[in-house]
A and B are shown apart, each in its own frame.
Chain A
């Protein structure tokens, strides 16, 4: 008696089915341990602290969420690598990478599936900050279009950080190493427009390179989005950064599957 007696033979999954199956598995994994809940609580508490204490939300007397979005980049700098560090490092450590990548799905589908799950998860944490939005609407009459743009920009920026972290996580089997390296690289991307990083280049690099480095700054890109200016170039920028790092992630896996 074999299972095939009662079951129709399986088909080849479409790319979408394959990716969604990985997304579903990842999300099941997140929520079957307390880690997901701990992360969400910390994210919400930190977002609140930044907005209301450091950002002086009430004292400003303005009906917008600028103090809320202002600190997101810094929040993500540490919290996104905390999510991304386990994406591939844990697969390597436990050996399940061998199981996943011998199933009939491509490495790219696995990379995208894992990324999307983590991105949705961060999106959920972000969405749970809605009481802040309710508060500002209760207190005043904010520009909700600008707030929506801010949320979208924030989520896209989180995706950029996440793709960086996912790629770095694929290079090691040690989650702590993955975390620290991700924070460092994300920090570089965050600040690349600021004098601190620019001074490293300004003595010797040609103006073209300087402009290029300045263009890479997450912070300046996000600053305009969080003010409600949805510039297509900024959206494309975050999209390209994400796709670039996910492709690098795939290549890293293809080159170094075994160790």
Chain B
């Protein structure tokens, strides 16, 4: 087995005075599903375009399985499957014609071309539209065609730029299960601004804004940065009275009431849930709902990406 690994060293892209990607350094190893997060224009797509050899970095470089993306671009590209943003394709071709073109470009020949194309179609349930022009397909099918061309040569590395953007919930679910199914022995890099996706799919997340890497952590790690992490939220009547009782506990740092929901934030390292359950039983409060918060991804995201600006 050769190593499956992406390393970026000082990867930088400037357009005139605008720095789109600023000195990125990271290593991604086999088995990792990395979510690239960031506001629009943060440099996610530009980074992916550099990794896949579409754009040349202004300075710095990256290597894909040991192949430098600048000096050994073709070898690097062969290890990768890439779904560009918006899943572009040649719309006038049929799905089968298009995938056969990709198969030949990927180095299949003879009968293997057809076999590789049908295997990819089978994987994404595209058989029923094989003879249709891509232009006539719905958005969901087009996205699946894009994914089919990316996985056609069973690459060790998949770079997917917003793979579920614009899909309906069922299609999103399908694409996610496909990614999860493939992730075991590969590197998958996805960019997204759907935060739930990171939690559902990724085992590592990078947040970038203004081209700089701000956070590199696991999704759980990200959640634990939330002030909601390990907080307890309950739905009760006469919330004010209960709030004043609970705020006297040493374990509670703060109590907030928002839209009828009462949230208790823990003091450092305190575990609130058991304590609060005891109180509820003790006081016989009428609690309609009680839950332990894991943390709120959107809050962490906002805190990290906008905090940078305010400071």
Contact = CB atoms under 8 A, between A and B. Distances in A.
A associates with B:
yes
B260 interface: no
B88 A104 contact: no
B107 A104 contact: yes
Given A7-B112, A95-B88, A21 B105 contact: yes
B84 A13 contact: no
Given A32-B92, A32-B93, A98 B54 contact: yes
A6 B92 contact: no
B93 A2 contact: no
A10 B102 contact: no
A33 interface: yes
A121 B84 CA distance: 30
Q: Chain A at the B interface: mostly helix, strand, loop or mixed?
A: loop
B123 A3 contact: yes
Nearest to A98: B84
Given A6-B119, A7-B116, A94-B91, A104 B106 contact: yes
A101 B123 contact: no
B49 to A, nearest CB: 7
Interface in B39-55: 49, 52-55
B119 A105 contact: no
A28 interface: yes
Contacts of B102: 103
Interface string B136-169: 0000000000000101111000000000000000
Given A21-B104, A103-B102, A8 B90 contact: no
A41 B116 CA distance: 38
B264 to A, nearest CB: 48
Given A99-B89, A102-B54, A10 B97 contact: no
B270 interface: no
Contacts of B56: 254
Contacts of B202: none
Given A94-B88, A102-B77, A103-B106, A257 B115 contact: no
Contacts of A199: none
B225 interface: no
Contacts of A233: none
A25 B107 contact: no
Among A7, A11, A101, A106, residue most surrounded by chain B Cβ atoms (within 10 Å): A7
B13 to A, nearest CB: 9
A2 B154 contact: yes
Given A24-B101, A28-B93, A104-B77, A6 B88 contact: no
Contacts of B60: none
B78 interface: yes
A257 to B, nearest CB: 6
Interface in A59-106: 94-96, 98-99, 101-106
Given A11-B107, A24-B104, A103-B77, 18 more contacts: A3-B119, A3-B154, A7-B108, A10-B116, A10-B153, A21-B101, A21-B104, A21-B105, A28-B101, A32-B97, A32-B133, A94-B88, A98-B54, A99-B149, A102-B77, A102-B84, A258-B54, A258-B55
Interface of A: 2-4, 6-8, 10-13, 17-18, 21, 24-25, 28-29, 32-33, 94-96, 98-99, 101-106, 254, 257-258
